[in-house]
Amino acid sequence: MEAYIVDWLSLLARWLHFITGIAWIGSSFYFVWLDNHLEAPTRSGDVEKGVAGEVWSIHGGGFYHAQKYQVAPRVLPETLHWFKWEAYWTWMSGMFLLMLVYWYGAQVYLIDVSIAELSTVSAVGIAGGSIVGGWLVYDVLCRTKLGSDDRMLGGVLLLFVAGLAWGLCQLFSGRGAYIHFGAVLGTIMVANVFFVIIPGQRKVVDAFERGEVPNPEPGIQAKQRSVHNTYFTLPVLFVMTSNHYAMTYSHEYNWAILIAISLAGALIRVYFVARHAGKATIVPLVAAALLLAGVAALIAPHASAASGDAVAFDDVRTVVQHRCTTCHSDAPTHAAFPAAPGGVVLDTDEQIVAEAQRIHQQTVVTRVMPIGNLTGISEAEREIIDRWYQAAGDKDGG
């Protein structure tokens, strides 16, 4: 029953995280688009009122006219919409999900004793520390003299996140390292909103309400953090889906793959931001495509070198029953799984044969199963599955 309740909590938290994430990213992307499509106001009266740019658009059968002020209107409107709760709820739901799946289930999803022999307490402590520490290091870097040079700061931040990716992959399972890399970036993004962007906007509003000329510095800082957030977005979205693609996080050089794909995501975003501003060059897009193609080529599985005597199906069945059906069964015996993960059931010979390709992919090629090697599969047993699969393939091909 405990595992069933945890599954329901995970489902509801993931759903909420998905909904609020769409709202946050959608509004963020829209305002980046809006900012880069502003044109000079056509009416002289608007210029006198302090309007810096405007854009006309049509959506859902209606016309919209958006204007951006150089600083703020002379008289603030009674109703002013703030875009913040989407970010806060995305982070809160994501952190709850992280704690539920990767911290509460640390022995299954976070710890891999073949990488580092960590206790649950130490693993969770390091994970939480990396999230808090990641924000603190980033914030300090932005507040130093580096913050006044966007290119220099960007280069240092690239080195910082690359080091973060490498370090996490030396401590946690590949899947756990990837999700915590995303959690650090996501925390930086929402902390930018909470500690810099929203307070900066409040200072502008408060100054106008007091009849003072606002200090432009908070707005400049908020703009810089907002730009960082838009470039972090695609790497974070990749991490959110990466648990479906063991070929990335299970690889020997998973940290390098994470860095490369994250960089590709940032470059794709660079291209689209430039395109919105009418200054697009395909160089970032081509660079991103080459990075992704290079990763795909380098991690492509090689033909198996399995050799030896023919494997009897009885041997394969024994391996599956001892190492796989703990979870992949109509009635899993592992406490963390109330139902077979992914709906993959391996109770019968027919089911094993039907899932042969998936079994081979997960236990031999990517080696992510059994997850965290909870059931202690040996190299000899992986070889049994490999030889059986290769022999079946040769027979089918002949």
Span 271-288, pLDDT tens digits = 999 988 888 899 999 999
Residues 88 and 185 in one domain: yes
pLDDT of res. 57 = 95
Amino acid type, 171: L
pLDDT of res. 398 = 38
Residues 126 and 265 in one domain: yes
Residues 380 and 261 in one domain: no
44, part of any domain? no
For 354-380, what is the mean pLDDT?
89
> Residue 343: is its pLDDT beyond 70?
yes
Residues 266 and 326 in one domain: no
Q: Select from 275, 298, 321 the last residue of a domain.
A: 298
Residues 193 and 291 in one domain: yes
Structurally, the chain folds into a number of domains equal to 2
Residues 288 and 391 in one domain: no
Q: Which residue range forms the structural domain that includes residue 238?
A: 2-36+82-298
pLDDT of res. 44 = 83
Residues 286 and 360 in one domain: no
Residues 245 and 373 in one domain: no
Residues 282 and 333 in one domain: no
Instruction: Determine whether 299 is exposed, middle or buried from the number of CB atoms within 10 Å of its CB (0-12, 13-18, 19+).
Output: middle
Residues 392 and 290 in one domain: no
349, part of any domain? yes
186, part of any domain? yes
Give the tens place of pLDDT for each residue, 205-226: 888 888 888 888 888 899 899 9
Residues 105 and 171 in one domain: yes
49, part of any domain? no
Q: Select from 298, 331, 353 the last residue of a domain.
A: 298
> Residue 365: is its pLDDT beyond 80?
yes
Residues 30 and 91 in one domain: yes
Give the tens place of pLDDT for each residue, 36-64: 899 999 888 898 888 999 999 999 999 99
For 369-375, what is the mean pLDDT?
85
pLDDT of res. 162 = 98
If one compares 307 and 89, the residue with the highest pLDDT of the two is: 89
